[in-house]
Amino acid sequence: MSAAPLICPSILASDFAALGAEVKAITEAGADFVHIDVMDGHFVPNITIGPDVVKALRPHTDLPFDCHLMISPVDAFLDAFRAAGADLISVHPEAGPHLHRTLKYIRQLGARAGVVLNPATSVDVLDYVMDDIDLVLVMSVNPGFGGQSFIDTQLRKIEVIRKKLDAAENPAILQVDGGVNAQNAGLCVSAGATALVAGTAVFKGGPSAYAANIKALKGL
């Protein structure tokens, strides 16, 4: 039996006109991290949240802020997100230019560092940064939008990364993001994931449903 996964609601699917209340509601409903999708309209075809919004949300919860940066080039914004209250900062290798330098810098800022792999990105990119990562995020949709369907091939990628992390005795969080729901959550965990990001599956039904939605994702 695998341990219950960490649940990281993506506030991209929340009510943007009530973000503070939404973050408080998922905190009370049993979320483990607050997943914040940052998009620049350049690396991905959508624009979302900047550091000022992250800063405004910080007083609304004690949960770790898990900032998924879909911006390129990313380095110029790391200080601002850390100062705004990001606890984990995850970056795409394609957002570059220098993944190793970026990961080192995130840790230097005192945050935990994550690498995000797009559906077509090979796991090989992890090989020479194994000692520099606290989290690996497997995208099970192409980044840019919530509400897309889970790409099944990524389950095999999760398995391969699980083996790599275990072989390296690396305790990094193995997170999955995109189209995760109560039906496929168990498959992700069996493949080796330890954290699940979910937007639609957490926020559907409004605040009174959040606790049950999170429980269902944990497989409880």
Q: Which residue is nearest to ligand DX5 (CB)?
A: 199
Smaller CB separation from Zn ion, 135 or 216: 135
Shortest distance (Å) from residue 138 CB to ligand DX5: 11
> Which residue from 2, 70, 59 is spatially nearest to 34, judged by alpha carbons?
59
Reported as half-sphere exposure (CB side, CA atoms, 13 A), residue 217 has a value of 32
Residue 177: active-site member: yes
Rg (CA), the chain: 16
β-bridge mates for residue 7, sequence order: 196
Shortest distance (Å) from residue 144 CB to ligand DX5: 5
- Binding-site size, ligand DX5 (CB under 6 A): 21
Q: Does 144 bind ligand DX5 (CB under 6 A)?
A: yes
Q: Does 177 bind Zn ion (CB under 5 A)?
A: yes
Question: Which residues lie below 8 Å from residue 124, measured CB to CB, with a gap of 6+?
Answer: none
Torsions phi, psi for 105 (to 5 deg): -70, -40
Site track for ligand DX5 across 9-28, x = CB under 6 A: -x-xx---------------
Buried b (16+ CB within 10 A) or exposed e, 174-190: bbbbbbbbeebbeebbe
Find the binder of ligand DX5 among 27, 72, 121, 148 (CB under 6 A).
Answer: 148
Find the binder of ligand DX5 among 37, 40, 66, 134 (CB under 6 A).
Answer: 37
* Site residues (vs ligand DX5, CB under 6 A): 10, 12-13, 35, 37, 68, 141, 143-144, 146-148, 177-180, 197-201
